[in-house]
């Protein structure tokens, strides 16, 4: 079958099947072959790979994945897309479509069954309304994972890869970078999709680290400190921690911990690296 990655073919497929776009599922379908090639290249897909695709839509990216990978499983929530996928992917014997919410799929079991428990590559033009739960769910889980290469809102991609002292730096940057190394592979304008999204998009690859980027005694405490610190951007970190309902630290305890890790009393969270948050967390975990 001819590839779908152009506006004419996409519109033809949608009209023929009387498909109605569901806004609540974040449906913006890719219509640009060049962008699809970039995603496949950024993900580094080879014939050895098992790929999990999140949200195949009408199968535009799935066709490219099927040609590049050994095997693909594509998880699509919208049951109205399933008959279309069966048609557009009929030529590919290495593709399985599952009609399910990706947040409910037992991915660890899938990896075991399809890839003998070896790390997999995840690829997707993500539904933007659940980008963070999907990405953080995967990174925080014990699922064997090599990389996640996804289309997300440009603003979210910038936050994922931002470093200390920049306006995009925040809790998401630190959470993602604790588990993975980000690489921004491409910026993608709205005219590469049908319908056009109201925001710019970007392709980001997150390569999972073998071990988290820093060692910390109490991971939960560190992420609570990070959240408290960025939740009150205008305050100094010391004031932010003192006022946060999450903690019961005294002024003295905070001052002592700051002294132990060499922080100035006026330090702001947005200037701190992950290692510095880890050191502070260790100094505050009694």
Kindly state whether residue 66 participates in binding ligand SAM, applying the rule CB under 6 A. no
How big is the site for ligand SAM, counted in residues (CB under 6 A)?
23
Query: Shortest approach of ligand SAM to residue 19 CB, angstroms?
Result: 10
- Helix 131-140 vs helix 171-179: crossing angle, to nearest 10: 40
Residue from 78, 84, 205, 254 touching ligand SAM (CB under 6 A): that is: 78
Return the residue matching tokens 């959240």: 227
Structure tokens at 27: 């449906």
User: Site map for ligand SAM, 119-138, x if CB under 6 A?
Assistant: ------x-x--x--------
Scanning residues 11 to 50, which ones bind ligand SAM (CB under 6 A)?
25-30
Q: What span, in angstroms and rounded, lies between the C-alpha atoms of 3 and 17?
A: 17
Residue nearest to ligand SAM (CB): 55
Instruction: Between 193 and 277, name the residue whose CB sits nearer to ligand SAM.
Output: 193
| Options 73-81, 142-150, 221-229, 276-284: segment touching ligand SAM (CB under 6 A) | 73-81
Kindly state whether residue 89 participates in binding ligand SAM, applying the rule CB under 6 A. no
Beta strands in the chain (DSSP E): 29-30, 50-54, 71-76, 95-99, 120-125, 145-153, 180-188, 193-194, 201-208
Residue from 42, 64, 68, 76 touching ligand SAM (CB under 6 A): that is: 76
C-alpha distances (whole Å) from 90 to each of 1, 62, 75, 95, 213 are 8, 11, 16, 9, 43
Query: Shortest approach of ligand SAM to residue 228 CB, angstroms?
Result: 30
Count the Cβ atoms, other than its own, within 10 Å of residue 228.
21
Instruction: Between 75 and 95, name the residue whose CB sits nearer to ligand SAM.
Output: 75
Question: Within 13 Å of residue 269, how many CA atoms lie on the same side as its CB?
Answer: 28
Query: Shortest approach of ligand SAM to residue 204 CB, angstroms?
Result: 15
| Options 70-78, 112-120, 178-186, 269-277: segment touching ligand SAM (CB under 6 A) | 70-78
CA 104 to chain centre: 16
Q: What span, in angstroms and rounded, lies between the C-alpha atoms of 126 and 87?
A: 22
Kindly state whether residue 182 participates in binding ligand SAM, applying the rule CB under 6 A. no
Structure tokens at 275: 């290692």
Contact 285, 217 (CB under 8 A): yes
Instruction: Between 81 and 203, name the residue whose CB sits nearer to ligand SAM.
Output: 81
Structure tokens at 6: 């152009």
| Options 64-72, 75-83, 166-174, 184-192: segment touching ligand SAM (CB under 6 A) | 75-83
Kindly state whether residue 69 participates in binding ligand SAM, applying the rule CB under 6 A. no
Query: Shortest approach of ligand SAM to residue 149 CB, angstroms?
Result: 12
Q: Which of 93, 50, 57 is nearest to 75 (CA)?
A: 57
Question: Site residues (CB under 6 A) for ligand SAM?
Answer: 25-30, 54-57, 60-61, 75-78, 81, 101-103, 125, 127, 130
């Amino acid at each position: 079958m001819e590839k779908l990655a152009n506006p004419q073919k996409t519109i033809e497929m949608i009209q023929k099947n009387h498909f109605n776009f569901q806004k609540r599922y974040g449906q913006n379908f890719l219509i640009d072959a060049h962008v699809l090639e970039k995603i496949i290249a950024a993900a580094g897909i080879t014939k050895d790979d098992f790929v999990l695709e999140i949200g195949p839509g009408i199968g535009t990216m799935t066709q490219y994945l099927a040609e590049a990978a050994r095997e693909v499983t594509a998880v699509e929530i919208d049951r109205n897309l399933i008959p279309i996928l069966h048609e557009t992917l009929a030529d590919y014997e290495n593709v399985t479509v599952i009609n399910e919410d990706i947040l409910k799929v037992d991915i660890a079991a899938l990896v075991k069954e399809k890839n003998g428990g070896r790390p997999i590559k995840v690829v997707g033009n993500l539904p933007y309304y659940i980008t963070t739960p999907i990405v953080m769910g995967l990174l925080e889980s014990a699922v064997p994972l090599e990389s996640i290469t996804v289309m997300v809102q440009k603003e979210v991609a910038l936050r994922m890869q931002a470093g200390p002292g920049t306006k995009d730096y925040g809790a998401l940057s630190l959470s993602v970078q604790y588990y993975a190394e980000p690489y921004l592979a491409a910026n993608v304008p709205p005219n590469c999709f049908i319908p056009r999204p109201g925001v710019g998009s970007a392709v980001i690859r997150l390569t999972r680290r073998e071990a988290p980027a820093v060692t910390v005694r109490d991971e939960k405490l560190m992420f609570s400190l990070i959240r408290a610190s960025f939740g009150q951007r205008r305050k100094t970190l010391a004031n932010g921690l003192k006022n946060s309902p999450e903690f019961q630290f005294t002024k003295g305890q905070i001052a002592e911990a700051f002294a132990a890790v060499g922080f100035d009393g006026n330090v702001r969270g947005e200037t701190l690296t992950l290692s510095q948050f880890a050191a502070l967390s260790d100094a505050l975990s009694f």
